[in-house]
Amino acid sequence: MIDPLKSPLLTDLYQLTMLNGYLYADMRQRAVFEFFVRTLPETRPFLVACGLETCLSFLEDLRFSEEELDYLKKTRRFSDNLIEELKTLRFTGDVYALPEGTIFFADEPIIRIEAPIGEAQLVETRLINLIQYQTLIATKAARCMLAANGRATLTDFGVRRAHGAEAGLLAARASYIAGFIGTSTVLAEALYGIPIFGTMAHSFVEAHDTEEEAFIDFCLANPNNTTLLIDTYDTMEGAKKAVHVARQMAEKGIRVQRVRLDSGDILELSKNVRRLLDQEGFPDIQIFVSGSMDEFSIHKLLDAGAPIDGFGIGTRLDTSDDAPYLECAYKLTEYGGIPRMKKSAGKVSYPGKKQVFRSYDKNGQMKGDILTVENDLLEGTPLIEQVMAAGKRLLPAKTLQEIASHTRRQLEALPFGLRTLTATPSAYPVGISPALERLKNETESMLRERK
């Protein structure tokens, strides 16, 4: 049976028709493709690169099964030569990329593929699919982390509202890389080791005859996960019942860990609930908030003094609702050793293999980037590194904890102007080196001569 998430058929038709064309023309030379973002969304002054490890796994596992080949043959769309080629096709190329968790900007390559042109072309759709989505979510999550600024923990609660099952799973991964403490998605713990967190739904309370009975049953059934949802009916009355149950549970050696607010005037309710809990002798019961949260509501609530210990971020995270896509591209920049470029109006791309150098000030804050050709020697730190050679990883896969640590250091190095939620994409300087400008001019001259 075809696995839809691993199948190379999860691609655009034109990848296969182009591959068919390359074979017809006997075009097998090495090509270079780079994936980059043309322009940043208006609400994103930076982006966090995410998805590299999932891409490398896809490339390592790339192959067509007999069932998939049979399907392609039955369509009668493709030549016998293509079917034969796909029988033994494996990814044999080299990969260069920004390390996952690296902050980047417009025109800076996230990943570069160097391989025979058929291989490099075929993987385009899935690479864009994996990197664009995870980068969107990691960036949204990073903004939430900047808004919280260490004042509250954040948890991914969005799998039910994500645009598909894989999206929900990858959102858990991307948000954890950005600094979230965990997710509600159970499969994320099984596959990635991400800590899982959960409470109860209003239906659990509604199914019981009384709110207090619901709280008691939940605590007794889940003594190590005792978060009580207190706003099903009247929030303050729910808080009082939670206190009563907390006393009963304490006698049984069970501690109520937190109460959850999901609706209403969160600022006022959180203050009132905190006051009640403290007065009743439960200062250690935390307040957890969910319900249409994002970086803006987190910032507003915490700056207003809301005594909130943690947030569950769902719909607006897993859909990246204020920036749901990236203006990104996967473009051919070299074929057969000759630089290539696109000159379409508004979509001009730079030719050749590229590197990004980043400069820092004396305090370790990012100061500016320079986009240049691969072998240029400039001041600063080169960001793009080789991660795969001849279809094999050069190093073992990084753990999510390692990637998350790198992301945290990247966010700590952000200049203050990029930390604010109102920063614009033009706030950080990215220059083009003289060497890259020369290559662009030379390539344009070559193109004019060919016309």
User: How do residues 175-187 score in pLDDT, each as one tens digit?
Assistant: 999 999 999 999 9
Backbone angles phi, psi at 214, to 5 degrees: -60, -45
Amino acid 45: pLDDT? 96
Take residue 190 and report the two structure tokens written for it: 């099984």
pTM of the shown model: 0.96
Beta bridge partners of 434: none
Is residue 274 within 8 A of residue 248, CB to CB? The reply is no
∠ CA 326-330-332, nearest 5°, is 155
Q: What is the DSSP letter of 390?
A: T
Domain boundaries, the chain: 13-128+325-450, 138-318
Residues 6+ apart with CB under 8 A from 21: none
Type of residue numbered 429:
P
Type of residue numbered 67:
E
> What is the layout of strands, in order, in the sheet containing 385-389?
338-339, 327-335, 30-39, 111-116, 94-97, 385-389, 392-393
Amino acid 449: pLDDT? 79
CA 50/CA 54 separation, integer angstroms: 9
Type of residue numbered 394:
L
Amino acid 451: pLDDT? 64
Record: fold of 13-128+325-450: nicotinate phosphoribosyltransferase (3.20.140)
CA 193/CA 103 separation, integer angstroms: 24
Q: Taking residues 257-285, what's their average pLDDT? A: 97
Count the residues in the chain.
Answer: 451
Q: Taking residues 146-166, what's their average pLDDT? A: 96
Q: What is the DSSP letter of 398?
A: P
Q: Taking residues 341-368, what's their average pLDDT? A: 90
CA 103/CA 44 separation, integer angstroms: 11
**According to the CATH classification, is domain 138-318 in 3.20.20.70?**
yes
Q: What is the DSSP letter of 110?
A: S
CB atoms within 10 A of CB 103: 24
CA 371/CA 110 separation, integer angstroms: 12
High-pLDDT (> 70) share of the chain, %: 99
Does pLDDT of 10 surpass 80? yes
- 111-152, pLDDT tens digit by residue? 999 999 999 999 999 999 999 999 999 999 999 999 999 999
CA 122/CA 10 separation, integer angstroms: 10
CA 320/CA 393 separation, integer angstroms: 31
Does pLDDT of 346 surpass 90? no
Q: What is the DSSP letter of 196?
A: B
- 430-444, pLDDT tens digit by residue? 999 999 999 999 999
CA 124/CA 329 separation, integer angstroms: 9
- What is residue 77's three-state secondary structure? coil
Type of residue numbered 252:
K
| Residue that the structure tokens 């096709």 belong to | 89
Take residue 173 and report the two structure tokens written for it: 């991964």
Is residue 173 within 8 A of residue 134, CB to CB? The reply is yes
Does pLDDT of 344 surpass 90? no
Q: Taking residues 244-263, what's their average pLDDT? A: 97
**One fold for both 13-128+325-450 and 138-318?**
no
Does pLDDT of 25 surpass 90? yes
- Work out the burial of residue 384: count CB atoms within 10 Å of its CB; fewer than 13 is exposed, 13-18 middle, 19 or more buried: buried
Does pLDDT of 424 surpass 90? no
How close are the terminal C-alpha atoms of the chain, in Å? 49
Amino acid 214: pLDDT? 98
Does pLDDT of 448 surpass 90? no
CA 27/CA 41 separation, integer angstroms: 37
Does pLDDT of 450 surpass 90? no
